[in-house]
Structure 1
Amino acid sequence: MEVIMNTLGSKIRSLRKSKKMTLVDLAGDYMTKGMLSLIENDKNNPSMESLEYIAKKLDTSVSALMEDGDEVITNETYIKIKENLKSPSFTREHEFKDILDPIIDQIKHNRKGAFIFQCYAYTKAVHKDQTALDYLNTAKQIYLELNDKNALLDVENDVITIQFILNNYNEAFSSGVELYEKYKDDYEISNPNALPRLLLSVSAYAYSSYDLSNLFKYLKLAEKESINNKTIKLLPSIYKSLCFGYMLDGDIDMYKQTLDKFDYLEPFLHNDFNYKYDIFTTKMIYYFYNKQDEALLELINNQHQHLESDDYTRDTFDSANKNIWTLMKGIALYRKEMYDDAIILLQKYQPDIEFQAPADIAVFAQKYTYLAMNEERLNNIKKAKEFIQIANDKIKQIPPNHFTKITEDTYKRIMN
């Protein structure tokens, strides 16, 4: 008599066969056939992200594939958190707290609970709350008990990212590299996004310290991992980051070669918001750096046309990105000698986060640089000196780069 195992892998295999789908059909463009085979044979624990993909392809739910400790409460909470995550906001902490506080002890022993703690940790970290690491450690313990390497890699990556957010910069890059070396050849890592996403994080840490050599090294590794794993949805973010690096390095030829790679992804991702958003921001920084102000203003003024998608789009317009677009539009208007409109926007620009990356600080400093130039234009030299001193103080903490030059030149002119 055949014993039927009611494991996660067997459920996935049984559902797949009932729908007359092959391993290749179910794997699709998300993962390789080999990765899916390991999951179906219970030789690999899929991440929550992978489970959501599989469940959707099989016309079922993650809940139907899994059994959790306190299943009803956990599932209800999980659904609320997922809905909350659809609207990016720096004020999510209160929404998460209201959802979690009453039931937090009941979700400490299952996979969905761990995922919820990971989400909650980020809302804490944004407000520089050290308890963010406590929630990640709770998630880590759950994954250790489940012997889930995919989730362990994910949560360890989160730990490093949150250490970075909490200003522990010196450890972030080296810890990220160590984590990649630890897992890069581990066949049990079946989530195709895990390693490319980790490498994107490592490259971001390199960018933060103006380490362009390692920025390019780890982004190219991320590109290779994504292509090998058929993880094409991460490629736009990788190409955008490469373009930013080449722009910071002043290598316009490599920028253009990398921008052309977006065209290869268009047939697969033409309706994907993140794909369109990555192209949008990549072009925006290019026009800004090269002083192509007409093109920059057209892009920003018609942002909805370029990025129209869903509620996620509108929330993004109204939150973090609105500020940097306001700054760039103000500078473009100033360069076109539309001074009054430009100054209104420059004065309005107030970043939500004090950026630490060199290019971000250099661009942020331009707010005060252009305010100084305007006062100089009006012959208010005392006020001009006050503004340019603020700008110069901001760029002192970073290496000189193409974005600092206008502040440096303006400082020399006004102060002399």
Structure 2
Amino acid sequence: MGESFVNIGEILQSLRKYKGMSLADLAEDICTVEELTLIEKNKQVPTIDELFRLANKLNVNLSDFFDFTSADSMSYVSAVSGLIKKFKRDRNYQAIYEIVQREKKNPLFNFPSSKQFLHWHEAICLYYLADSNNRNKQSSISMLIEAIELTNPSKKGLTEQEIEIKMSIALIEKDDQCFEKAITLLKEILDDMEKLPSLSDPQVKLRALFGLAQSLTRIEKYDESLKYCEKGIQQCINDEILYLLGEFLYQAGLNYKHIGKIELSRETLNKSLQVFKLQEKENLTKLVEKELEKIPS
């Protein structure tokens, strides 16, 4: 058990009793009573998501679980960053926005890279939370450029976090149907990644490859899109991860259909279907099933 969690159980139990809540009251909709009992006894470590919800129910700040006079302050920054990343995977931009607004006033986020992290995610939220007809793309992109400049005014020799921010710009361009701009940026991003000694998160490259594959399909460059689909599929296999594997297979299946390779399209879409079923992604499963129905037998 990591040092940053040593006192969490005691703090939770103390706050729960102070608020006059039973174990069942606090655990409801968050975890089981048995799990909460183990957490309070420091025999089980809560996930950051669980901790966030427990803090909300107790009406305290997440930071109350961390000792800011020790090195654990960085554990708090990491915990909040991890929670934001989780909500980003779920596309829960409202939750991200609320966290960002709260933490902007927190002195722990005054360090350049931490301030950059919040500025980056605020820009994303302002774009995706706006009504599709009222989105101010340029304002969000300007904020993302400002975020990069907080740590790298020259915008040369980008770090991994700076590359991810640049990728957010590319994905906004893609979502705004500006596919040529997105493709140019994403190809630059792949070059930026090659200059790094390594990537701490290999999923970053997968996101760039998938954004490229999608954008190229949209401008009818199916063969080139297939090239990036294959790179993504191969990386998923090499890294032994399912992340975006189903999506790459689906995109490849669409490309094969467009270039007239019907049997290969059906085969690839079926592989995609198997992955989505394994991941229990119902919406994507239905999407592939509908696409398979369109393919002539």
Unaligned runs of 5+ in 2: 13-38, 65-75
Query: Please, which of 49, 52, 57 is the counterpart of residue 102 of structure 1?
Result: 57
**In the TM superposition, what is the alpha-carbon distance from 1:262 to its structure 2 partner?**
4.2
Correspondence 1:139 to 2:103: yes
The residue type paired with residue 199 of structure 1 is K
The residue type paired with residue 178 of structure 1 is E
CA distance in structure 2 between the partners assigned to 1:121 and 1:104 by the alignment = 21
Aligned residue runs from structure 1 range 373-384, under 5 A: none
- Structure 2 match to 1:199: 166
- Structure 1 match to 2:214: 244
Q: Secondary structure, in 3 states, of the residue corresponding to 1:274?
A: coil
CA distance in structure 2 between the partners assigned to 1:291 and 1:169 by the alignment = 37
Q: Percent identical across equivalent pairs?
A: 9
CA distance in structure 1 between the partners assigned to 2:269 and 2:191 by the alignment = 32
Query: Please, which of 166, 174, 177 is the counterpart of residue 142 of structure 2?
Result: 174
CA distance in structure 1 between the partners assigned to 2:220 and 2:115 by the alignment = 38
Query: Please, which of 269, 294, 317 is the counterpart of residue 281 of structure 2?
Result: 317
Correspondence 1:217 to 2:184: yes
Asked if structure 1 preserves the Cα contact closer than 8 Å seen for 2:190 and 2:208, the reply is yes
Asked if structure 1 preserves the Cα contact closer than 8 Å seen for 2:226 and 2:255, the reply is no
CA distance in structure 2 between the partners assigned to 1:238 and 1:123 by the alignment = 15
CA distance in structure 1 between the partners assigned to 2:194 and 2:217 by the alignment = 24
- Structure 2 match to 1:163: 126
Deviations 1:251-301 (A, max 9, x none): 2453344345447746742x1212633532331331344454433332333
CA distance in structure 1 between the partners assigned to 2:116 and 2:230 by the alignment = 32
CA distance in structure 2 between the partners assigned to 1:241 and 1:123 by the alignment = 15
**In the TM superposition, what is the alpha-carbon distance from 1:105 to its structure 2 partner?**
1.4
CA distance in structure 2 between the partners assigned to 1:257 and 1:113 by the alignment = 37
CA distance in structure 2 between the partners assigned to 1:281 and 1:248 by the alignment = 14
Asked if structure 1 preserves the Cα contact closer than 8 Å seen for 2:87 and 2:96, the reply is yes
**In the TM superposition, what is the alpha-carbon distance from 1:203 to its structure 2 partner?**
0.9
CA distance in structure 1 between the partners assigned to 2:237 and 2:186 by the alignment = 23
Deviations 1:141-167 (A, max 9, x none): 33x435433333222222122222212
The residue type paired with residue 218 of structure 2 is L
Q: Scaled by the length of structure 1, what TM-score is found?
A: 0.48
CA distance in structure 2 between the partners assigned to 1:200 and 1:326 by the alignment = 30
Alpha carbons of 1:243 and 1:137: their partners in 2 closer, same or farther (altered >3 Å)? same
CA distance in structure 1 between the partners assigned to 2:286 and 2:124 by the alignment = 23
Asked if structure 2 preserves the Cα contact closer than 8 Å seen for 1:219 and 1:238, the reply is yes
**In the TM superposition, what is the alpha-carbon distance from 1:215 to its structure 2 partner?**
0.4
Aligned residue runs from structure 1 range 344-359, under 5 A: none
The residue type paired with residue 80 of structure 2 is A
CA distance in structure 2 between the partners assigned to 1:120 and 1:304 by the alignment = 24
The residue type paired with residue 101 of structure 1 is N
The residue type paired with residue 143 of structure 2 is S
Q: Scaled by the length of structure 2, what TM-score is found?
A: 0.64
Comparing 254-263 and 235-244, the one that deviates more: 254-263
Asked if structure 1 preserves the Cα contact closer than 8 Å seen for 2:96 and 2:125, the reply is yes
The residue type paired with residue 234 of structure 1 is V
The residue type paired with residue 216 of structure 2 is Y
CA distance in structure 2 between the partners assigned to 1:162 and 1:304 by the alignment = 31
**In the TM superposition, what is the alpha-carbon distance from 1:247 to its structure 2 partner?**
1.6
Alpha carbons of 1:206 and 1:79: their partners in 2 closer, same or farther (altered >3 Å)? farther
Alpha carbons of 1:300 and 1:112: their partners in 2 closer, same or farther (altered >3 Å)? same
Alpha carbons of 1:264 and 1:185: their partners in 2 closer, same or farther (altered >3 Å)? farther
Structure with the bigger RCO (C-alpha within 8 Å, sep 6+) is 1
CA distance in structure 2 between the partners assigned to 1:304 and 1:281 by the alignment = 8
Asked if structure 1 preserves the Cα contact closer than 8 Å seen for 2:170 and 2:181, the reply is yes
Query: Please, which of 84, 90, 98 is the counterpart of residue 118 of structure 1?
Result: 84
Report the count of equivalent residues: 248
**In the TM superposition, what is the alpha-carbon distance from 1:238 to its structure 2 partner?**
1.1
Alpha carbons of 1:119 and 1:237: their partners in 2 closer, same or farther (altered >3 Å)? closer
Alpha carbons of 1:226 and 1:240: their partners in 2 closer, same or farther (altered >3 Å)? same
Larger Rg: 1
